[in-house]
Every structure is written in structure tokens, then in C-alpha cells.
């Protein structure tokens, strides 16, 4: 059975593109929806170009009503009956109720070698700490921010002249490699983590 994958974005959607383009041929999954909390997010046009249905649920319409926002997200999602949710640069914190609903079915990509640097500004923090390497992690989403079981990690060297931007670009190349590899394995029912050097 082919798994249906919904991808949640807030921005340019480069990880969404890497995931969507990987789901072809004998891949066990196909994209069913790209949903954004940001109207006009760059990734929405890229999804439409690929013939993937899109939806927008603007979180600013739900001030102080996170559950109302999530109810709307859930109805947008359920209209496309996803089996798996991939967070790909989705910049909203989800309530335990939402996470529970999609428990064991929701993945996230985070731009650090978790458990190091959950949250924001990961590259600046790695540079400030003088780390010799950085990277990205794909993990199952649990109610605690950026701390579910690791399903894959990729490492890159930190160079002496790196800025947060140059390091982010080097890490993103690996994000685009790692996330599709993990999704393919996950959609086939295999939770064994993937560690790229």
C-alpha cells in the first residue's frame, strides 16, 4: 500500500521539494498535500508546480487560540487522509493534542546534531561554542520540542571562516539528502536510524 504524505511548511520549502521529488518510482509513499501556516510561503508555489494539492491555514487568524488553529489544520489535513506528516521548516509549536493525534506518524528535520541545540539559531550557537562539526537530525515528533527519537543524522565539518549562513548552506545540502532517505525507510515501516558521515 502506498503511504500518503502531507508536508507542513512555513517558508521556502527546499526540504519539501527534496521530499516530494524523492517520492517517485518504487518509493513506498506519495505526497498528498503541502500545507503552510504562512500565506504566500515560497514552498506553496513549488508544490503547485509539481501538481501537489496545497492549503494555507494562517496562524494569525487564531490569536491566542492555538487549538483553534490546529483544528483548522487537522480539517485541512484530514481532507487528504495522510498516513505520515513531515514537518519541513514548519515554524509553529504543536500542542500535545495535535502531536498525540499523529503519534508515530510525524517526522521533523532540525538543523543541529540533536540533542545539541534544540530550538532556534542552531548554527550561530554551534559556532559560538567552537564546535568542530555540525549537522542535521530527522526525528519522530513528540510533545517535547525537538526531542523525539532520532531517525537519522548527517554531519558536516565546521570551517574556521564559517558564518551562520555558510554553515547553514552546508547543513542544508545534507538535509536534502538525509530527509528523503529517512522518509523512504520510515514509509516502508523501518525505524532504524540512518547516520551519514
Provide the edge-to-edge strand list for the sheet that holds 29-36: 54-56, 29-36, 3-9, 84-87, 106-110, 133-140, 150-157, 194-196
* Residue 110 known to be catalytic: yes
The residue of the chain with the least Cβ separation from ligand GRF equals 89
Q: Determine, following the binding rule CB under 6 A, whether residue 118 of this chain makes contact with ligand GRF.
A: no
* 38, 84, 107, 109: residue in contact with ligand GRF (rule CB under 6 A): 109
Stretch that binds ligand GRF, among 59-67, 107-115, 151-159, 183-191 (CB under 6 A): 107-115
Q: Determine, following the binding rule CB under 6 A, whether residue 165 of this chain makes contact with ligand GRF.
A: no
Give one DSSP letter per residue of 118-162, joined into a string.
Answer: -SS-HHHHHHHTT-SEEEEEEEE--SSTT-SPEEEEEEEEPPTT-
Q: Determine, following the binding rule CB under 6 A, whether residue 134 of this chain makes contact with ligand GRF.
A: no
Residue 106 DSSP SS3: strand
Stretch that binds ligand GRF, among 45-53, 57-65, 106-114, 189-197 (CB under 6 A): 106-114
Amino acid at each position: 500500500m502506498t503511504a500518503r504524505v502531507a508536508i507542513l511548511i512555513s517558508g521556502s520549502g527546499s526540504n519539501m521539494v527534496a521530499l516530494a521529488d524523492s517520492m517517485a518510482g518504487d518509493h513506498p509513499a506519495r505526497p498528498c498535500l503541502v500545507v503552510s501556516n504562512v500565506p504566500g510561503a515560497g514552498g506553496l508555489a513549488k508544490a503547485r508546480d509539481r501538481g501537489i494539492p496545497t492549503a494555507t491555514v494562517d496562524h494569525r487568524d487564531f490569536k491566542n487560540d492555538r487549538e483553534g488553529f490546529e483544528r483548522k489544520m487537522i480539517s485541512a489535513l484530514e481532507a487528504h487522509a495522510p498516513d505520515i506528516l513531515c514537518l519541513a521548516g514548519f515554524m509553529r509549536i504543536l500542542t500535545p493534542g495535535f502531536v498525540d493525534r499523529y503519534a508515530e506518524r510525524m517526522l521533523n528535520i532540525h538543523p543541529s546534531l540533536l540533542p545539541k541545540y534544540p530550538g532556534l539559531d542552531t548554527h550561530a550557537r554551534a559556532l559560538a561554542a567552537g564546535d568542530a562539526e555540525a549537522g542535521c537530525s530527522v526525528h519522530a515528533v513528540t510533545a517535547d520540542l525537538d526531542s523525539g527519537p532520532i531517525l537519522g543524522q548527517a554531519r558536516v565539518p565546521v570551517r574556521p571562516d564559517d558564518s551562520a549562513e555558510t554553515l547553514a548552506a552546508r547543513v542544508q545540502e545534507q538535509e536534502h539528502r538525509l530527509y528523503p532517505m529517512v522518509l523512504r525507510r520510515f514509509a516502508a515501516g523501518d525505524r532504524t536510524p540512518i547516520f551519514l558521515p
